Amino acid sequence: MHISTLFIKLAVISVVLLSACATQENKPEQQQTQAEADKALSKTSESDIQQYRQAISLISTGKLDEAESELMDFSADHPGLAGPLANLGLISMKRNKYDKAEEFLQKALSKNPNLPHAYNLLGCIEKSRGNIIKARDNFTRAVELKENYALAHYNLALLYDIYIQDISSAVAHYQKYLALIKSTDKKTADWLNELKASLKKG
């Protein structure tokens, strides 16, 4: 089944917010910043912003040690921003250091409790630990905070499909995901049609 290859995809979000989990490749996703993040960012210089963008680029290209160093420095200089902490959590996840990732993500949420990407990553962490209900709750919180968060809808769909066996809910979230993405995901679309057919037979 193609789904087994699609559960973890870490998507990079530029400028202030970063974090996600879903299929198999890094994919940039542009995201509007939260109001308080905008306020904090307004106090940074253009060179600081470029430093942050460079760190994001380093994550995308797999240069995690360099990215971590840049983000640690940036976070120390801008303690009010949640994004750098969430990105450090993402780096820890890429290294399979889930406890450390959770620590960074919780710190990010202490700065901005309405950061959907942090909840999405926490959902991935709980899923990896086998805590399916906690994973569901985190993914659900992510889409509550950002209704058009395609990757979180995808993660919810997979969770309902594979682990919870709630096919109706899985179908709803697959549909939402497919409606939101800008590209075509034929494998997911084909699988969705199979699930819909199975519901009709049931």
Mean local confidence (pLDDT), 30-44? 47
Domain boundaries, the chain: 2-201
| pLDDT, tens digit (0-9, with 9 covering 90-100), for 132-141 | 999 999 999 9
Q: Check if the beta carbon of residue 58 is closer than 8 Å to that of residue 70.
A: yes
pLDDT score at 3: 34
| Residue 175, token pair as written in the block | 């549909």
pTM over 0.75, yes/no: yes
Q: For 19-28, 77-86, 100-109, which range has the lowest pLDDT when averaged over its residues?
A: 19-28
| pLDDT, tens digit (0-9, with 9 covering 90-100), for 163-200 | 999 999 999 999 999 999 988 999 999 999 999 999 98
| pLDDT, tens digit (0-9, with 9 covering 90-100), for 102-141 | 999 999 999 999 999 999 999 999 999 999 999 999 999 9
Name which of 151, 196, 147, 146 is nearest 170 in CA terms: 196
Give the integer Cα–Cα distance in Å for 74 and 23: 29
- What does DSSP assign to residue 199? H
CATH code for 2-201? 1.25.40.10
Q: For 20-24, 55-59, 133-137, 152-156, which range has the lowest pLDDT when averaged over its residues?
A: 20-24
- 12 forms beta bridges with 28
